[in-house]
Chain A
Amino acid sequence: MSKKKYAVAIRDVIAEEMRSDERVFVMGEDIGALGGVFGCTRGLQKEFGTLRVLDTPISESGFVGIGIGAALTGMRPVIDFMYLDFVYVAMDQLLNQAAKLRYMYGGRASLPLVIRGQQGVGRGNAGTHSQSIEAFFTHIPGFKVVMPSNAYDAAGLLRTAIRENNPVMFIEHKALYIQTEEVPDDPDFMIPFGQAAVKRSGSDATIVATSLMVSRALEAAERLAEEGIEVEVIDPRTLIPFDIDTVITSVKKTGRALVVHEAHKNNGPGSEIASQIMEKGFRYLDAPVARLGAKACTLPFSLVLENAVVPSVEDIIQSVHEICYH
C-alpha cells in the first residue's frame, strides 16, 4: 500500500497500464508538458513520448471520433476531457457513435475506450465548468459509468476501465483530487464494476451517495449517530452497471432510503435508483424513498450560491429526519 492523492492514483494507473500494454495511449488537451490541468497525466509524455501521450487541439468532437477509430482497430485509448462539461461539444461522437457502434454492427466490433475527466462543484467555475453529466450517459445504453469517490476506488476502477472492452465514462471529481488514501501497489489491483461499497453500516436508514456526496453522507451519518440514528451509507461506485442488490439488502434492514447526488435532482440518476428501490423493495419500505440533488438551475459562479444549489451535510441530515419521521 502507498498513500496517494486521488489525482496521483489516477496518473499511476495510467502509467502502469501504458507500461504493460502498448495498445494503451492517452490523448487530450494540455496533457503533455503541463501534465493535465489537474496533474493526472504529469510526467507521462516524458516517459512515453509525444505519440502515446498525444496533445490534441481543442477539437473535442474530432478527437473523440479519432479515439473511436483507434479503438475499433486494436488500440485502447484513454481520452482526457479536462472538464467533463466539454462532453456536450462531442455528444454525437459519444452517444451516437461510441455508445451505439458495437450494437449497430451486430456485436462485430468492440470499443475499448475510456473517457475520463472531472466534474462538479468546489472551485466556483460557474455553469459550464461545474455541472454533473452522468445522467446523459446512464440514459443512452452503451457506456459503463464510473464515479470513484476516493483514491482507492479511483485506482481500482480505472484499471478495470482501461482493461474493459467497452466505452467507459470515468467521472472524477475536482474537489476529490487531493483526497488521500492508502492504495494497493499491486499492478493488477482492480475493482469490478457493479460492486457497491458499504461505507458505513447502520440499521435505521440507507443513504445511497455518489462521488463527492459520499463524504458528505458519511459526515451526516456521524452527526445523526450522535442523536441515535444509525445510517448505512452505500457508494455504488458505478452507475452502469448498478449494484441494486446491495442497496435492497440494506433497505431490507433499514426500511428507509435516501439517494444523494450532485447532479440535478430532476431526472437525475437518483430518479432511477429510487424507482428501482421501489420496484424491488417496496415491501421493506417504511417511508417514501427520498432524493437529494442539485436544484433545477444552472450552477452559479458565487460560492455562496453554488453551496445553496448542491446538497449539503445539513440537507442530508434534514432529509434523513424526514424519512425517519423525526
Chain B
Amino acid sequence: MDKQTILNVHETMLVIRKFEERALNLFETNKLRGSVHLSIGQEAVAATVGAYLRDEDYITSTHRGHGHAIAKGARADRAMAELMGKVTGYCGGRGGSMHIADVDKGNLGANAIVGGGIPHAAGAALSAKMRGTDQVAVTFFGDGASNEGIFHETLNMASIWKLPVIFICENNLYGMTTNVERVTSVKDIAVRGAAYDIPGVVVDGNDVFSVEKAFKKALKRAKAGDGPTLIEAKTYRWKGHWTGDPEMYRSRDEVSSWKEKCPILRLEAHMIENQLLTEEQIRTKHQEIDQLIDEAERFALESPEPDPSTVLDNVFDEGDQ
C-alpha cells in the first residue's frame, strides 16, 4: 500500500469510528432514534476495500453499514442527517441508518434483511459484464448472512457466470447474540467458497494490510474475467448488536482482548514506525475529523424534517425511461 493510500485508509477509519461514536452519543441523548448498528472495531475492512474502489464500482452493504457507505464516498453530514430522518439525508429520511444508499456513487444500498443485498451486487456485476465495462461489485455481509440460502444461491450463480463480484464476509463472531460457532457448520466461512468453485481466503479483518493483500488479488481476478472471490475478514464489533444491547452473550474479557487489536491503533503504530506521520500529526488528524463530525452533527440537527405532504412521493418512478 502506498503512502497516500495508507493516509486515506487511516482517515476513512477515523471518520467511520468518530461518526459512529457520535451517532451513539446522539442516540443516548435522544437526538436520534430507530435502529443504529455500529461497526466500531471493524473499520479496517470497509476503509481498505473502499480505498481500492472507483466511483463507478459498486457495493452493497448491511444493517451495519455506516462504514461501508463512508468508505464508498458518503459524506458524514448527509449520512448523519439520514440517521436523524432529515430531508437532507441520503434517502430524504425514508431509509434511515439501515438503508443508506447513494446509487450515483455506486453504493447500491445498505440492506436491513440479512443477506438481502448479496444478490444485488452480483446483479450489478452481471450488468457490468453485459454492458462490457470493467466495473466490479463488492458485497459486504456478516457471518450470519452466510447461513442464508441467498448467499449460497448467489455464490453459485456468480461462479457459473464468472461475475466480477467480490464477497466480503465480515465475521464479527456474533449474529445478534448468537455465537457463530454455535450455528455454523464450518470454522472458517471462507471454505464455503469451495462448494461453488470460488477461492476463499481468511484475512485478519483488523489489519488493513491483510485485507489489502486479499482484496487486490480478488480485484485482479474479477477484472480478468475469472470470477468471484470470497474473503472472510475475522473481526469483532466492540459495541452490542444494537444500542442498548445488554451483551449477556459475551465476556468483558473477550471484548477487551479485541479492543487491544484495534485496527486504527495498529495502523497508527505502523505509520509512526515507518515515519509516515508523527504522533503530533496523527493528533491533528483526529482533531480535523472531530471537527468534520461536529459539522455533520450540526448540519443534521439543523436540517429540516421531511414535509409530510411528500410521504407518497417516489413509491413509483413517474419519469420516462
Contact = CB atoms under 8 A, between A and B. Distances in A.
A70 B153 contact: no
A73 B123 contact: yes
A190 interface: no
A220 to B, nearest CB: 35
Contact of A102 (B108, B137, B314): B314
B157 A62 contact: yes
Contact of A61 (B121, B124, B150, B321): B150
B314 A57 contact: no
13 contacts: A51-B129, A61-B149, A63-B119, A66-B120, A68-B123, A70-B127, A73-B123, A103-B94, A104-B109, A106-B92, A107-B314, A108-B90, A166-B316
B116 A92 contact: yes
Interface stretch (A93-101, A253-261, A310-318): A93-101
Contacts of B93: 106
Interface in B139-195: 149-150, 153-154, 156-157, 160-161
B118 interface: yes
Interface in B298-316: 313-316
Interface stretch (B98-106, B228-236, B287-295): B98-106
Task: List the 3 closest pairs (A to B, CB-CB), nearest first.
Answer: A69-B123, A65-B119, A62-B153
Contacts of A111: 317
Contact of B154 (A25, A51, A65, A144): A65
Interface in A35-59: 51-52, 54, 56-57, 59
A93 B116 contact: yes
B138 interface: no
Q: How large is the interface on B (under 10, 10 to 19, 20 to 34, 35 or more residues)?
A: 35 or more
B246 interface: no
Contact of A69 (B101, B137, B153, B314): B137
Given A61-B150, A106-B92, A69 B157 contact: no
Given A68-B123, A104-B91, A52 B317 contact: no
B130 A75 contact: yes
B82 to A, nearest CB: 9
B95 interface: yes
Contacts of B317: 102, 107, 110-111, 165-166
Nearest to A60: B153
A268 interface: no
Nearest to A107: B314
Among A63, A68, A107, A110, chain B packs the most CB atoms within 10 A around the CB of A107
B128 interface: yes
A117 interface: no
B19 interface: no
Contact of A65 (B92, B101, B150, B315): B150
Nearest to A72: B108
Given A25-B130, A51-B130, A107 B150 contact: no
Nearest to A51: B130
A71 interface: yes
